[in-house]
Structure 1
């Protein structure tokens, strides 16, 4: 090629020959495709070189896509975990609401069976003193709550109100050691006094002689004596009767009918006004 383009008298002739040859070759290739096989062979030989040249670009594109996909997957996983946690919390709340609805339905059914005037109250707090079994309710004197008013849950008597403020009230539970409640055996009407022991699931029946007609499983209900608790409310069920000939009274324990440790919704009870009460008030 160097000799072709060197300065000399035949430079113009040589250039013309080269141009003519190029035109002829391009025409022949375009018209007859004689050089197709040669071009294919050259392309085949140059293919590895093209791959090598394009390798950095392809590798960079692959790394970029991989990093982008990984970042997207991390974001999606984080969002899915957050959604899963939120759904789990909602499910727990729904389970709690379902359980609360069951308790309220049971409580309302009990209220209809009682026949007295009632008001549903919720627990605001529980006294943590181990020697006191007392709770705080979210109803007070603004709701006509008064001292001595009985409180019940869906299963039975829980206690009575001992202090009232405008929007809350304190109540003592029947398991408090200082609480006593007149009861009678539902089976035979035998009357006695049941005392709290300071243990949630244990009450003691007082002043029943060894020959008293009382059995394990007997239901104890309010007797109505004392004027605070209307008669007939379930209080406890006898769990053990121990007779000691050397003692004047039997040792009798009972389990509260109310769910002392788990009830959160309670009933405040006002005795229903009877026709006799209406005549007296008139």
Structure 2
């Protein structure tokens, strides 16, 4: 059984005939336009009329492209920002390392210049680590007995005295800083030549001048150098600067506080003076009860011959003359 449209819809030619007709018409227009160039005006009018429709048709595509470009640009910017931050961190690390190397270079130059001015030989040493004792001010350096270091040798930097070698190992040595509680150093006031002894105050990083009479001529800002009378530190090395002088009416001595001039807590490289090793200067030892019987003794425990000779000379001077000599 065949179905066909109502007679009302069967008017005109068939679809196949229409396709063939319009195809032939299009071919004719193409041939005419290619030879006569007469359809250009019609093409421009049609293009102008259809342009808004084209823009409306392209809006979804352009919107999709814009959304894709936005997200891709955001991702690109985020990756660029991340890369710039990493580069900034690397640059900051490089700058810090460069500044540290420049500071170390300047410090080494100062140490070399200071070593050339000294009358004794010296060796450059670098801090390895701090000593484990939290109640002392000691450091361990990378020079030892194999480099000529011996106990008792002074340690300095370009600004002044740092401390003294107290223990020596084959390749390392222990340095007791000037601010240690058990460390002391004879000093002299540059302004008036007043001599005294500076003692460390431990963790505070300061020095004390003990047993300074209230009428002593010492002021804030005075510079203190090594006096050289101990035989350990060469004379004239900068030690500290007076920062405070306290006087009390009921006390016979002033309390004098000094600030070390050396970069004890700032520098990593120091000079060890290869002078003749001598005993360390610490707090005075307890009195020996046998000294009264056997005479005075020096730091090594040996009898002081000069003191005994002076006593004998004094005894001979006050002894009464014999009757025979009186005659």
The alignment's TM-score, normalised by the length of structure 1, stands at 0.77
Larger mean Cα displacement after TM superposition, 101-110 or 34-43: 34-43
Aligned partner (choices 225, 240, 243) of residue 244 of structure 2: 240
- 1:160, distance to aligned residue in structure 2 (A): 0.6
Structure 2 CA distance for partners of 1:122 and 1:42, relative to 1, 3 Å: same
Residue 167 (1) aligns with residue 171 (2):
yes
Please tell me whether the aligned partners of residues 136 and 181 of structure 2 are also in contact (alpha carbons under 8 angstroms): yes
Larger mean Cα displacement after TM superposition, 89-98 or 124-133: 124-133
- 1:151, distance to aligned residue in structure 2 (A): 0.7
Residue 251 (1) aligns with residue 255 (2):
yes
Please tell me whether the aligned partners of residues 181 and 201 of structure 2 are also in contact (alpha carbons under 8 angstroms): yes
Alignment map for 1:192-271 (pairs within 5 Å): 192-244=196-248, 246-271=250-275
SS of the counterpart of 1:250?
Answer: strand
| Deviation digits for residues 186-235 of structure 1 (CA, Å, limit 9, x no counterpart) | 34443322211225442122334334343433332222233322222222
Residue 139 (1) aligns with residue 143 (2):
yes
Structure 1: distance between partners of 2:23 and 2:67: 48
Residue 70 (1) aligns with residue 82 (2):
no
Q: Counterpart in 1 of 2:184?
A: 180
SS of the counterpart of 2:98?
Answer: helix
- 1:105, distance to aligned residue in structure 2 (A): 1.9
Residue 122 (1) aligns with residue 126 (2):
yes
Q: Counterpart in 1 of 2:103?
A: 99
- 1:86, distance to aligned residue in structure 2 (A): 1.3
Please tell me whether the aligned partners of residues 200 and 261 of structure 1 are also in contact (alpha carbons under 8 angstroms): no
SS of the counterpart of 2:256?
Answer: strand
Residue 154 (1) aligns with residue 158 (2):
yes
Residue 90 (1) aligns with residue 99 (2):
no
**Residue correspondences, number:** 267
Please tell me whether the aligned partners of residues 149 and 274 of structure 2 are also in contact (alpha carbons under 8 angstroms): no
Q: Counterpart in 1 of 2:290?
A: none
Structure 1's unaligned 5+ residue stretches are 273-282
- 1:23, distance to aligned residue in structure 2 (A): 7.7
| Deviation digits for residues 92-128 of structure 1 (CA, Å, limit 9, x no counterpart) | 2111222222222222222222232111212222347
